[in-house]
Amino acid sequence: MVVGFSMLVGLAAAVGLLYGSATVARHRVETAADLSALAGARRALDGAAAPCAEARRIAEDNGSALVACQVVGLEVEVSVAKQVRTVGIGTRMIGARARAGPVDEDLYGPPGSRRSARRSTPL
């Protein structure tokens, strides 16, 4: 009885560790996508190639690969991916997308206003 309960606790701990490591990996890829999009948007006025080059550099600095980058006006949309190896599951590709650009003052108000400090509509 005690051995069975110990095995059950061990199995639950192993599943929890696998789930936790997968969640951390996903969050890291999402962070890489967010930072890449922001960095690319910061360079949107520097020419057609500059935003995606900067986004690629930031993605690689964060251990991910830039899969796609699109610049429309001052907005930059990126997709990044990272290959993650998890014990017991194997290797998987985890991807994330992000978009960054200027803030719409109609939705958020001018920078520094009380209205810009909170999100008035869901994105």
pLDDT of 22 reads: 72
What is the token pair recorded at 108? 């958020």
pTM beyond cutoff 0.75: no
Domain tally for the chain?
Answer: 1
Is 110 contained in some domain?
Answer: no
Is 15 contained in some domain?
Answer: yes
Structural domain that includes position 68: 2-102
Cβ count within 10 A of residue 90: 8
- 19 or 122: whose pLDDT is higher? 19
DSSP assignment string, 37-85 = HHHHHHTGGG-SSHHHHHHHHHHHHTT-EEEEEEEETTEEEEEEEEEEE
Is 72 contained in some domain?
Answer: yes
Q: What angle do CA 84, 85, 90 make, to 5 degrees?
A: 125
pLDDT, one tens digit per residue, over 70-86 is 999 889 999 999 998 87
Amino acid at 94: I
pLDDT, one tens digit per residue, over 42-99 is 998 898 899 999 999 999 999 999 999 999 988 999 999 999 887 767 888 999 999 9
